[in-house]
Amino acid sequence: MRMKALSILLFTCVGAGLAISAEPFGVDPSPPKVAELSEAPAPRPQAFDRLTFHAAPKPLSKDAVTSDWPSFLGPKDDAISPETPLLHAWPEGGPPKVWEVRKGEGYTSPAISGEHLVIFHAVEGKEVIECLHPETGQRYWVHEYPINYRDRFGYANGPRGSPSIADGRVVTVGVTCMMTCLDLKTGRVAWQRDLRKEFLVPQDFFGHGGSALLVDGMAIVNVGGKSEMALDDDDMEDRARKLATPGLCVGSFDLKTGRLLWGVKDSWGASYATPVAATMHGKKKVFVFTGGESNPATGGLLCLDAKDGTVHDRIPWRADDYTSATASSPVIIPEKNRVFISTAYPKGRPLGGVMLEFDENFKAREVWKSERLATHWMNPVYVDGYLYAIDGELQQSSKLVCVNADTGEEKWREDVIWEETALARPGRGGRPGSAPVLGIQRASLLKVDGKFLVLSELGSLLWMDLSPSGAKVEARAPLFFAPHTWCLPAVSRGLLYVMQNEDEQAMGSSGPRILCYDLRALAK
């Protein structure tokens, strides 16, 4: 049954001003100062005090297929990499470690373009953008700026949105909604915008969390602005009223100048999902799964024209639970002109996922929905007609599932668990002790080289063969034992990059860090 479309206010860039289709939104409130990025010499990478180098990786196979990892979900925004061949049979202890760099707070994945790898984190009240050499971990440059953020729920006081790279620029959107564009090779600031101040963006539950989508010279962001600023010390009624006011929901910013090109005005706030671009019916569209803090909870999917932001459809899909946080990005089924979205808060409705199909006018119809495919922040992966995903909001209830993308039929559901001998305690009288049972829990899934790399929530890495007929673990290695391993790993040129976000003691004390592993293999 089609969901009733609601009116939405759209403004587009026309000449030097903005033409408003309904009520005026206003011109760009604060076009940023644009730096003159002259041909400055690029710095050479240097070792620094937080870097530990372990061993050089093997040379790439002459037949290797390699790729950049320029954004949160990889080269095509689908958590799939074309890389091959990779090392599937690991030595004892897991894949060889190449280097590691201690990092600060945050839940972000790295972005990689050529010989430049960018990480984004927070250290002692500053957000830090660093560019490293992917093979050595040595640093090219670092840029930092102060932030004032304390998480309302006790989680990390750092960024959630990952860096994005395109056209020689790197763009970040921090936890306080500070948007920064840097020259990738030199680290020089091209432009910077305080979106929170300019567009009255509330802090929301965990700060701002989505990454920027870089496409066709634009940086598209689910801003989540309001007409009135909602403050933490507002009473509940006044805060709810302010959170319901319309503002800049989605903005497209010129990658070179930072100027606002087009925007969508809506009361839906900013979610923790990242916008995704797709070509449907021969035309490029952008899908933004919105929904920030609001009471009652509101949000859903926007289908927008990539060139001018025209709103084709607005599909409400948000659990009616105040505490719900939309965090799983849209999954595109390009050959069927379909998009899958999902939420994971069982106290509210709707619960779970819905498959939408867009007609030639880019209006959506519901194909199927399922309460048993409720993804939290772990993005489903679509392969050959099937969705592979983690269903469940909480650790203890999460399961690995396979669903037919055409019908919504569940093919299987697995609780992937094992006895972790690395954590076994000695028994009495010299007898072997018991080992704790661990599982992948709310794991990250990455499809590469014909299989799936699965990174568990506590830091175990698995090679798994996932197909409609079942799930099989082919290799497993504990990289570390630390909670909040919530970031999708990245793979580029045969190297795997994993973010450890919390301290761990079980395998030798170590703090948050990025680790590089050698997955290079000889040609098959």
pTM of the model: 0.94
Mean pLDDT of 78-90: 98
pLDDT at residue 169 greater than cutoff 50: yes
The amino acid at residue 47 is A
pLDDT at residue 12 in the model: 31
Topology classification of domain 68-426+434-518: Methanol Dehydrogenase; Chain A (2.140.10)
Question: Torsion angle, CA of 151/156/159/162, rounded to 10 degrees?
Answer: -140
**Burial of 370 by CB count in 10 Å (0-12 exposed, 13-18 middle, 19+ buried)?**
buried
CB distance 195 to 203 below 8 Å: no
Question: Which helix (H) or strand (E) covers residue 472, if one does?
Answer: strand 470-478
288: left (phi over 0), alpha (psi -120 to 50) or beta: beta
Predicted confidence band at 312 (pLDDT cuts at 50, 70, 90)? very high
* Mean pLDDT of the residues in the chain: 92
Rg (CA), the chain: 22
Buried residues in 140-178 as b, exposed as e (16+ CB within 10 A): bbebeeebebeeeeebbbbbbbbbbbbeebbbbbbbbbb
Among 119-133, 141-155, 387-401, 425-439, the least confident range: 425-439
Predicted confidence band at 430 (pLDDT cuts at 50, 70, 90)? low
504 φ/ψ angles, rounded to the nearest 5 degrees: -145, 150
Report how far residue 56's alpha carbon sits from residue 58's, in angstroms, rounded to the nearest whole number: 7
Predicted confidence band at 39 (pLDDT cuts at 50, 70, 90)? confident
Predicted confidence band at 524 (pLDDT cuts at 50, 70, 90)? low
Express as a percent the part of the chain with pLDDT over 70. 94
Beta-bridge partner residues of 99: 53, 516
Mean pLDDT of 163-173: 99
Beta-bridge partner residues of 122: 105, 127
pLDDT digits (tens, 9 = 90+) for 433-481: 788 999 999 999 999 999 999 999 999 999 999 999 999 999 999 999 9
Beta-bridge partner residues of 191: 181
Buried residues in 252-271 as b, exposed as e (16+ CB within 10 A): bbbbeebebbbbbbbbbbbb
pLDDT at residue 66 in the model: 98
Buried residues in 23-57 as b, exposed as e (16+ CB within 10 A): eebeebeebbeeeebeeeeeeebeeeebbebeeeb
pLDDT digits (tens, 9 = 90+) for 134-165: 999 999 999 999 999 999 999 999 999 999 99
Predicted confidence band at 348 (pLDDT cuts at 50, 70, 90)? confident
Mean pLDDT of 5-17: 31
Predicted confidence band at 26 (pLDDT cuts at 50, 70, 90)? low
Full 3-state SS string of 266-300: ECCCCCCCCCEEEEECCEEEEEEECCCCCCCCCCE
Q: In the chain, what are the domain boundaries?
A: 68-426+434-518
Report how far residue 408's alpha carbon sits from residue 257's, in angstroms, rounded to the nearest whole number: 44
pLDDT at residue 13 greater than cutoff 60: no
Report how far residue 55's alpha carbon sits from residue 41's, in angstroms, rounded to the nearest whole number: 29
Bridge-based pairing of strands 80-81 and 444-448 is parallel
Report how far residue 406's alpha carbon sits from residue 212's, in angstroms, rounded to the nearest whole number: 30
pLDDT at residue 164 in the model: 99
Beta-bridge partner residues of 150: none
Tokens 């990174």 belong to which residue?
455
One-character DSSP codes across 65-91: B---B-STTTTTTSSEE--B-B--SPP
